[in-house]
A = this chain, B = another copy of it.
Amino acid sequence: MGQSLLEALNVRVVGNGRKHLLLAHGFGTDQSAWKRILPYFVSQFKVILYDLVCAGSVNPDYFDFRRYSSLHAYADDLLRILDSLGVDSCVYVGHSISAMIGVLASVRRPEIFSKLILIGASPRFLNDKDYHGGFEESDIDKVFEAMEANYEAWVNGIAPLAVGADVPVAVQEFSRTLFNMRPDISLFVSRTVFNSDLREVLGLVQTPCWIIQTAKDVSVPTSVATYLKEKLGGRNTVVMLNIEGHLPHLSAPVLLAHHLNEAFSR
């Protein structure tokens, strides 16, 4: 991608603030997921938005299956974007897969990240001896089978579960962007995420983290938030939102904006 990275990943900078805020979307969405959050922060920040290379809004030809077989490559993209924009410090908000991408990037370049705000983050989805990730290998295999068999049907099934709360507009939005992903890319990214175990990376993080977790999230048990607080190397805070769902920026944007604001000001 080279010089055209900013263009390829639809990088936008909006807002009038002095400091930089980066909003990084998660699996199955694109930067449009932040549209109900963005208005709260454009006066306070220069807000950077971009699409992950796997997003349906990015030309799938850019998705190099060899390169994007680990989250490190996504962290590369993130750092290259920040460098291209000349950003030397930012507050980072990452949802889902982008939470861990931010974690990886902050380990490599701690000086660029003044704070990480992690929404629906998990360092490992599979259960292990002393760790509850929420999924057994057999659960995951069934997910992959369903995705392969009929992607549209899988999207229609998973979207309401992921959104959790009864917020039809959020389900519709998530379904739209999830369905926009090319099914083979969506499956490949799911495998990458479910096969990765980033627990040992957590201790390398020096940046203070603010972990935002909802009370019921099909992808991430609440115990994972506590695990993150304990294992991340910096000074960390957990905020439990008394709502349901993996995508609070879609389903409860006002509440999330309130808590983001709190996180920014601490």
Q: Are A197 and B197 in contact (CB under 8 A)?
A: yes
- The total of chain A residues at the interface (CB under 8 A) is 18
A12 at the interface (CB under 8 A from B): no
Of A32-40, A142-150, A166-174, A198-206, the stretch lying at the interface with chain B is: A198-206
A10 at the interface (CB under 8 A from B): no
A19 at the interface (CB under 8 A from B): no
Q: Are B129 and A204 in contact (CB under 8 A)?
A: no
Whose C-beta in chain B lies nearest to the C-beta of A131?
A: B195
Indicate whether A72 sits within 8 Å of B201 (C-beta atoms), given known contacts A107-B107, A129-B195.
no
Q: Are B72 and A107 in contact (CB under 8 A)?
A: no
- 24 A-B pairs with CB atoms under 8 Å apart are A70-B200, A70-B203, A71-B200, A72-B200, A72-B203, A72-B204, A72-B233, A104-B203, A104-B204, A107-B107, A107-B204, A108-B204, A108-B206, A129-B195, A196-B200, A197-B197, A197-B199, A197-B200, A198-B200, A200-B200, A200-B201, A201-B201, A201-B204, A204-B204
